[in-house]
Amino acid sequence: MNDSIDRHSKPKLARKAKLQFDSVRSLTLLLLPERVVKLNKTAADILHLCDGKRAIEEITKELELRYSQAGLESEIIEFVRDVSRNGWVEK
């Protein structure tokens, strides 16, 4: 599945996964069965936008505006492919 992820894919968080903000540590956690992953801000921002409705090209535009930086699409695609291999998102 992960190699078929491209700019038109509409990834969504896996059913088994949940994002939760930890206000004590000021970071977002990805909660999975028997595992908790501490996310950096960029990873959390990408995963929050993986709602199954937005294509990666839309996620990219949103983040390029948010970060005032162009050319993020290839990095976002690679990140989504990686987290797909880990079972954190579905296509």
Tens digit of each residue's pLDDT, the chain (91 residues) = 456 899 999 999 999 999 999 999 999 999 999 999 999 999 999 999 999 999 999 999 999 999 999 999 999 999 999 999 999 999 8
Please give the backbone phi and psi of residue 35, each rounded to the nearest 5 degrees, phi first.
Answer: -160, 140
Which residue segment(s) compose the domain that 17 sits in? 2-86
Query: For residue 23, is it within any domain?
Result: yes
Give the domain CATH number at 11: 3.90.930
Q: What is the C-alpha separation between 19 and 8, in angstroms, rounded?
A: 23
Q: How many domains does the chain have?
A: 1
Query: For residue 71, is it within any domain?
Result: yes
Query: For residue 91, is it within any domain?
Result: no
Q: Give the CB-side neighbour count of residue 72, counting CA atoms within 13 A.
A: 21
**Three-class SS state of 29:** strand
Query: For residue 77, is it within any domain?
Result: yes
